[in-house]
Structure 1
Amino acid sequence: MAMREVVFPEGRQDLYNRNRYSPAVRANGFLFVSGQVGSREDGSPEPDLTTQVRRAFENLNAVLFAAGCTFEDVVDVTVFVVDPESNLETIWSVVPEFWGDAPYPALTGVGVSWLSGFHFEIKVVARLPSVFSSTITKCPDDSV
């Protein structure tokens, strides 16, 4: 069985160890990032939704950074939201601080009833820039 190439950011190890998962795994030129929540260093949820969303993005960015990526490398996003009818406007007011400019990544939003005390979770797939920058070439006829 092949070993997983796991990426761990600085800190927050309690959450990953307690729940038995890896923050991200590198495979085939991509980084698959586990769902990131707005947890404090000890793994507990931030009580304020706006702060929780900011912290989820900060935690996501820490995982991306540990793998040599930024949010610009993200190609696919899945967000999970508890009670989206009540919470989505607050969440989307924070997103532009981290999201960047168009073109945006692909997005799937899922309304859920439970996230273990959290109200927002973000999971992404990013391309590994070092892999793609060394393997992408132009088409011979320069048409693409």
Structure 2
Amino acid sequence: MAKRDAIFPAGRHALYDLHRYSPAIRCGDLLFISGQVGSREDGTPEPVFEDQVRRAFANLRAVLAAAGGGFEDVIDVTSFHTDPQTQFATVLAVREEEIGAPPYPAWTAVGVTWLAGFDLELKVIARVPAAKGNGTASQG
């Protein structure tokens, strides 16, 4: 079985410790990133939805960077939305800025009723070859 390494970004968030999970697990060249929300460092949500979306992407970018990767390494995204009908245009606009040019990753959007006080969550699988990574795996 391949070794699993926990990946933590430099600006560690309170939610990781509060809810006892790793932001990402590297297994070989694959990086499995836990759902990233628009959390400030203290674990509270950004109150304005667009700011929360931007913060969720920033938190995702930080986890990717800690593994030596970026959005170009993302293979699959699952996004969870508390009110997709009213929120989706904002998410798509920020996504366009963050994800960049094609080819785009696979993406599944799911409407949910609860995200612990947040309105958007981004769960990602990326391929970041170990040779590309900077070896910043951490056990927490």
* TM-score in terms of structure 2 length: 0.88
Deviations 1:31-80 (A, max 9, x none): 00000000001010000010000000000000000000000000011000
Task: Between the two structures, name the one with larger relative contact order (CA 8 Å, sep ≥ 6).
Answer: 2
Query: Which one has a larger percent helix, Structure 1 or Structure 2?
Result: 1
Distance 2:35 2:10 in 1: 17
Does residue 29 of structure 2 align to residue 36 of structure 1? no
Moved over 4 A (4+): none
Unmatched segments (≥5 aa) in structure 2: 133-140
Report percent identity of matched pairs.
58
- For 2:67, give the aligned amino acid: A
How far apart are the structure 1 equivalents of 2:123 and 2:2? 24
Give the corresponding residue for 1:104: 104
Distance in 1, matches of 2:36 and 2:92, equals 16
The TM-score, its normalising length taken from structure 1, stands at 0.86
Larger radius of gyration: 1
Kindly state the Cα deviation for residue 83 of structure 1 after the two structures are TM-superposed.
Answer: 1.0
Q: CA RMSD in A?
A: 1.7
Q: Which residue of structure 2 aligns with residue 93 of structure 1?
A: 93
Aligned length: 132
2:37 maps to amino acid: V
2:110 maps to 1:84: no
